[in-house]
Structure 1
Amino acid sequence: MHRSSRLTMAASLVGVAALLGTSAGLAQAGPGDPLRAEQWGLDQVRAERAWATTTGRGAVVAVVDTGVDLTHPDLQGNLVAGATFTGCGAAGGPCGNGDFRGPDGQNNGDEHGTHVAGTVAAVANNGIGVAGVAPNARIMPVKVLEDGSGTFEDIAAGIRWSVDHGADVINMSLGGLAGTQVLTLTGLESSVTEAIAYAGARGTSVIVAAGNSATAFCNTPAWEPGAICVASTDRNELKSWFSELPNKPDLKAVAAPGGAGLTSCEDDIVSTVPVGTGAASCGQTDYDYYAGTSMATPHVAGVAALLFAQGRTRAAVEDALLTTARQPVTGLRGTYSPAYGWGIVDATAAVAQPGATPPNGRKGGPEKR
Structure 2
Amino acid sequence: MSFTRTLRAVGGAVVAGALLFGAAPTALADEIRDAQWPLKSFEAEKVWKESTGKGVTVAVVDDPVYGSHPDLKGNVLSGKNFTDGGTADHGSAGDHGTAMASLIAGHGHGAGDSDGIMGLAPDAKILPIGIPALGDDVGDSSIGDWIRYAVDHGASVINMSIEGRFLSDYDRRAITYASQKDVLIVASSGNSAKTKLGDLASAPGVIAVGAVGKTGKIWEKSDAGKQLMLSAPGVQITSASAARSDYPYRRADGTSDSTAYVSAAAALLRSKFPDLTAGQIANRLVKTAGLPPEESDLKLPDPHYGYGFIRPLRALTQDIPDGSKNGPLKTPKADPSVDTGGAAAGNGDQQASGQKEDGLGAGTIVGIAVGVLVVVAIIVIVVVRQKKNDRNGPPPGGFGGPGGPGFAPQQPGPYQQPGPYQQPGPYQQQPSAPGAFPPAPPTQPPGQ
Which category of TM-score, normalised to the shorter sequence, fits these structures? 0.7 to 0.9
- Pick from 314, 317, 323 the counterpart of residue 352 of structure 1: 317
Conserved in 2, the CA contact under 8 Å of 1:246 and 1:255? Answer: no
**CA deviation profile, 1:178-237 (whole Å, cap 9, x unmatched):** xx4xx44xxxx2232221221111011000000111111222311111110000112232
In the aligned structure 1, how far is the partner of 2:34 from the partner of 2:71? 16
**Are the aligned partners of 1:172 and 1:209 in contact in 2 as well (CA < 8 Å)?**
yes
- Name the SS of the counterpart of 1:222 in structure 2: helix
Specify the SS of the correspondent of 2:116: coil
Match of 1:244 among 216, 223, 236: 223
Confirm or deny that 1:126 pairs with 2:113: yes
Asked whether the equivalents of residues 45 and 344 of structure 1 are also in contact (C-alpha less than 8 Å), the reply is: no
Q: Does 1:340 align with 2:305?
A: yes
Percent identity, aligned pairs only?
Answer: 31
Structure 1 segment 1-369 matched on structure 2, within 5 A: 14=7, 16=9, 34=30, 35-86=32-83, 88=84, 95-99=85-89, 101=91, 107=92, 109-124=93-108, 125-146=112-133, 151=138, 153-176=141-164, 180=165, 183-184=166-167, 189-248=168-227, 253-259=229-235, 268-274=236-242, 276=244, 285-310=247-272, 311=274, 312-329=276-293, 335-354=300-319
The change in CA–CA distance for 1:316 and 1:73 in structure 2 (over 3 A counts) is same
Q: 8 Å contact 1:45–1:256 — kept in the other structure?
A: no
Q: CA deviation at 1:77?
A: 2.1
Aligned residues: 303
Task: Kindly indicate whether the alpha-carbon contact (under 8 Å) linking 2:192 and 2:222 is maintained by their aligned counterparts in 1.
Answer: yes
Shift of 1:145: 2.5
Contact in 2 for aligned 1:12/1:292 (Cα 8 Å): no
| Structure 1 residue 327: Cα displacement | 1.4
**Structure 1 residue 355 displacement after superposition:** 6.7
By how many angstroms is 1:84 displaced?
1.2
Do 1:44 and 1:257's aligned partners in 2 also have CA atoms closer than 8 Å? no
Q: Distance in 2 between matches of 1:216 and 1:324?
A: 25
Structure 1 Cα separation of the partners of residues 222 and 114 of structure 2 = 34
Deviating runs (4+, > 6 A) in structure 1? none
1-structure distance, mates of 2:46, 2:71:
21
TM-score, length of structure 1 as denominator length:
0.74
SS in 2 for 1:221: helix
1:338 and 1:356 mapped to 2: Cα distance? 26
Report the alpha carbon displacement of residue 18 of structure 1 after superposing the two structures with TM: 6.0
Distance 1:191 1:352, change over 3 A: same
**8 A contact 1:18–1:289 mirrored in 2:** no
TM, length-normalised to structure 2: 0.61
For the residues of structure 1 that align with 2:72 and 2:99, how far apart are their CA atoms?
Answer: 10
Q: Unaligned regions of 5+ residues in structure 1, if any? A: 1-7, 22-30, 89-94, 102-106, 260-267, 278-283, 358-366
Structure 1, residues 136-178: CA drift from partner, whole Å, max 9, x if none? 11111110233676649433211111111110100000014xx
Task: Flag the 1:18–1:271 CA change in 2: closer, same or farther, 3 A.
Answer: same
Residues 209 and 150 of structure 1, relative CA distance in 2, 3 Å threshold? farther
Q: CA deviation at 1:42?
A: 2.2
Distance 2:5 2:290 in 1: 27
Partners of 1:230 and 1:246 within 8 A in 2: no
The 10-residue stretch of structure 1 (323-332 or 77-86) with the greater mean CA deviation from structure 2: 323-332
SS of residue paired to 1:51: helix
Paired letter, 1:79: V
Aligned to 1:3: none
Whichever structure has more helix as a proportion of its residues is: 2
- Structure number with greater Rg is 2
- Amino acid aligned to 2:232: A
Q: CA RMSD in A?
A: 3.1
| Equivalent pair of 1:304/1:317 in contact (CA under 8 Å) | yes
Distance 1:154 1:163 in 2: 15
1:45 to 1:244, Cα distance in 2 relative to 1, 3 A = farther
Q: Matches of 2:232 and 2:127 in 1, distance apart? A: 22
**Contact 2:226–2:301 (CA under 8 A) maintained in structure 1:** no
Contact 1:15 1:289 (8 Å CA) reproduced = no
CA spacing shift, 1:201–1:75, aligned 2, 3 Å: same
